[in-house]
Structure 1
Amino acid sequence: MGDGYRTLDLNQAAAFLRMSPAVLRQKACAGIIKGAKPGKCWVFLENDLADYLHSLYSNRGQAPQSDRVQEKKPCHSSNAATSGGCDLTPPTASKYASLLKLPTNS
Structure 2
Amino acid sequence: MSEQTKLLTLSQAANYLGCNPETVRRHAQAGKIPAAKLGRKWVFIEQDLAQYLRNQYSTPESVVQVVDNNEESLCQSTNETLSGGLNSLHQMEREYSALLGLKTESKRKNSKQS
Structure 2: stretches of 5+ with no match in the other structure: 64-77, 79-114
**Partner of 1:48 in structure 2?**
48
Give the drift of 1:26: 0.3
Residue 58 of structure 1 corresponds to which residue in structure 2?
A: 58
Percent identity over the alignment is 42
- In the alignment, residue 9 of structure 2 is paired with which amino acid? D
Corresponding residue for residue 20 of structure 1: 20
Greater share of strand residues, 1 or 2?
2
Question: Aligned with 1:5: secondary structure?
Answer: coil
Q: Cα deviation per residue 1:5-38 (whole Å; 9 max; x = unaligned)?
A: 1000000000100110000000000000011111
| Equivalent residue pairs, number | 64
- What amino acid is aligned across from residue 35 of structure 2 in structure 1? G
- For 2:53 and 2:2, the matched residues in 1 are separated by 25
Larger Rg: 2
Question: Structure 2 matches for 1:22-41, cutoff 5 A?
Answer: 22-41=22-41
Matches of 2:23 and 2:41 in 1, distance apart?
A: 15
Q: Which runs of 4+ in 1 moved over 3 A?
A: none
Distance change (3 Å), C-alpha of 1:2 and 1:48: closer
- The amino acid of 1:37's aligned partner reads K
Secondary structure class of the residue paired with 2:52: helix
The offset of 1:59, in angstroms, is 1.9
RMSD: 2.0
Q: Does 1:6 align with 2:10?
A: no
Q: Secondary structure at the match of 1:37?
A: strand
User: 1:15 corresponds to which letter in structure 2?
Assistant: N
**Relative contact order (C-alpha < 8 Å, sep 6+): which is higher?**
1
Q: CA deviation at 1:61?
A: 7.1
User: C-alpha separation between the residues in 2 aligned to 1:38 and 1:60?
Assistant: 37
Cα deviation code 1:43-86 (max 9, x no counterpart): 000011001100000122726x9xxxxxxxxxxxxxxxxxxxxx
TM-score (norm: length of structure 1): 0.54
